[in-house]
C-alpha cells in the first residue's frame, strides 16, 4: 500500500511541476510584453524589464498554486484512469479514503510551501521589483500623485490616550526609503493647529524616528493680552536638522510599493494596527490578511476536488476534456474568490467568512462529487 501511495504521490507532484512551469512561462511572456511599453523611459532598459518579470514570478506561484494543484492533479489522475492504472490500484486495496488521504498529504506539503512563498519570498521579490523599476525609470511613489501622499499619525501618552494628531504630507517617497518635501501638520487634543514642519529631506533613524534636514518650523503659541480673547503668535525657526519621532516606519510606507494581496501577513497585521490606532478604515487590509491565512489551504481543497475525476470511466471523456473541466473549475474558483472578497468589503462581512466561502463551497462540491461517483459505480 505504501508503494502505491508513493507512486501516486510522485506522479501527482510531477504533473503539478509540469503545469506550474507552463503557467509561469505563459504569465512571464505576457508580463514581459506589457513591460516593453516602458522600455526607454528614463534608464529603464530591456534587462530591467527582464529582471522585473523574473522578480514577479514568486507572486504568480502563490496566486496560481490552487489552480495548478487542481489541473495538475486532474491530469495525473485522468492518466491513471485512461491507462486503467487507477482500477488496478483500487483492486490492490487503494480505496477512496486512502486516495483522499494521500492527496491531502501532498496538498498539505504544497500548501505549506505556498504559504512560505506568499509570506517570505513573494513580498520581498515584489518590493525589490518595484524599487528596481522606479529607480531605473527615475520615478517615485508619491510623485505619481499631484498632492503627494497623505498619512495620519498620532502621539500617545503613557496611558495610551491620544495627545496630538499629525497629518503628514510626503512629496516623494524614493525607492531607497528616503522622503522628500515632508510637511507635518500637528494638532493638539482639541484639534487646534499647533505646529507646521516642512523638511526638504527625511531619513529614517531607527527605531522610531526620522531625521529631518533643511527644516522650516512654525509653532503657534497662544498668548492672552489682558481680558481679551487669546491671540495666536507664530514662532518660526529654521534648524538644520530635527529628530521627528513617529510611528511611521519604512516598513509601513513600504506597503505603498506592494499591493495588499502581495504583502506578507506580518506587514498586513502591522499596517492594520497602525490604521486602527489612527481610526482609519482598514477593511481592505483585513480582507487581504484573511485571504493570506486561508488561501494556501485552497490547495488541499482543489486537490480533493480533482479526485472524483479519477473515478470517471474513460467513456466519460478523455484526458483533454477532464483537464478542460479543471481549467473551468479553476477559473470559476478564482472568480468567486475575488467576488466574495469584494462583497465582503462592500457589505462589511467578517473578513474570514468572506474569503472562506469559495473554499468551503469547493470542498462541499468535492464531497458531493465523490459521493456521486461512488453511487454511480
DSSP 286-301: HHHHHHHHHGGGHHHH
**Residues sharing a CB contact under 8 Å with residue 72, sequence separation 6 or more, in sequence order:** 12, 15, 16, 17, 18, 19, 20
Report which of 336, 355, 357, 356 is spatially closest to residue 285, judged by C-alpha positions. Answer: 355
Question: pTM of the full predicted structure?
Answer: 0.74
pLDDT digits (tens, 9 = 90+) for 205-249: 887 788 999 898 888 877 665 556 667 777 888 888 888 888 787
**Residues sharing a CB contact under 8 Å with residue 187, sequence separation 6 or more, in sequence order:** 164, 165, 166, 167, 193, 194
Task: State residue 299's pLDDT score.
Answer: 92
pLDDT digits (tens, 9 = 90+) for 165-210: 888 888 887 767 788 888 999 888 778 888 899 999 998 888 778 8
- Name the residue ranges covered by the structural domains of the chain: 2-138+283-376, 144-256
Q: Which residues of 65-83 are buried (b: 16+ CB within 10 A; e: fewer)?
A: bbbbbbbbbbbbbbbbbee
Task: State residue 148's pLDDT score.
Answer: 74
The mean of the pLDDT values for the chain is 81
Amino acid at each position: 500500500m505504501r508503494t502505491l501511495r508513493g507512486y501516486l504521490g510522485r506522479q501527482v507532484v510531477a504533473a503539478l511541476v509540469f503545469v506550474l512551469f507552463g503557467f509561469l512561462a505563459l504569465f512571464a511572456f505576457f508580463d514581459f510584453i506589457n513591460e516593453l511599453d516602458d522600455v526607454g523611459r528614463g534608464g529603464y532598459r530591456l534587462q530591467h524589464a527582464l529582471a522585473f518579470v523574473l522578480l514577479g514570478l514568486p507572486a504568480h506561484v502563490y496566486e496560481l498554486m490552487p489552480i495548478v494543484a487542481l489541473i495538475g492533479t486532474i491530469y495525473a489522475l485522468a492518466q491513471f484512469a485512461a491507462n486503467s492504472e487507477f482500477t488496478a490500484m483500487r483492486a490492490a486495496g487503494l480505496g477512496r479514503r486512502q486516495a483522499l488521504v494521500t492527496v491531502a498529504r501532498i496538498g498539505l506539503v504544497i500548501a505549506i510551501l505556498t504559504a512560505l512563498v506568499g509570506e517570505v519570498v513573494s513580498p520581498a521579490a515584489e518590493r525589490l521589483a518595484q524599487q528596481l523599476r522606479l529607480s531605473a525609470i527615475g520615478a517615485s511613489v508619491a510623485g505619481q500623485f499631484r498632492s503627494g501622499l497623505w498619512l495620519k499619525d498620532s502621539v500617545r501618552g503613557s496611558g495610551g490616550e491620544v495627545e496630538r494628531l499629525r497629518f503628514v504630507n510626503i512629496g516623494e517617497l524614493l525607492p531607497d526609503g528616503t522622503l522628500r518635501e515632508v510637511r507635518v501638520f500637528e494638532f493638539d487634543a482639541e484639534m487646534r493647529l499647533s505646529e507646521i514642519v516642512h523638511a526638504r529631506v527625511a531619513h529614517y533613524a531607527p527605531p522610531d524616528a526620522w531625521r529631518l534636514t533643511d527644516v522650516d518650523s512654525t509653532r503657534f503659541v497662544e498668548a492672552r493680552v489682558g481680558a481679551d480673547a487669546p491671540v495666536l503668535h507664530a514662532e518660526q525657526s529654521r534648524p538644520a536638522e530635527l529628530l521627528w519621532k513617529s510611528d511611521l516606519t519604512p516598513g509601513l510606507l513600504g506597503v505603498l510599493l506592494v499591493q495588499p494581496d502581495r504583502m506578507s501577513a506580518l506587514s498586513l497585521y502591522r499596517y492594520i494596527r497602525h490604521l486602527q490606532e489612527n481610526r482609519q478604515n482598514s477593511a481592505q487590509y483585513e480582507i487581504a490578511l484573511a485571504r493570506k491565512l486561508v488561501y494556501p489551504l485552497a490547495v488541499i481543497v482543489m486537490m480533493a476536488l480533482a479526485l472524483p475525476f479519477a473515478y470517471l470511466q474513460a467513456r466519460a471523456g478523455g484526458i483533454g476534456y477532464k483537464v478542460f473541466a479543471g481549467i473551468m473549475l479553476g477559473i470559476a474558483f478564482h472568480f468567486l474568490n475575488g467576488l466574495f472578497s469584494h462583497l465582503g468589503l462592500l457589505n462589511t462581512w467578517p473578513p474570514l467568512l468572506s474569503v472562506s466561502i469559495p473554499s468551503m463551497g469547493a470542498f462541499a462540491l468535492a464531497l458531493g462529487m465523490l459521493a456521486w461517483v461512488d453511487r454511480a459505480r
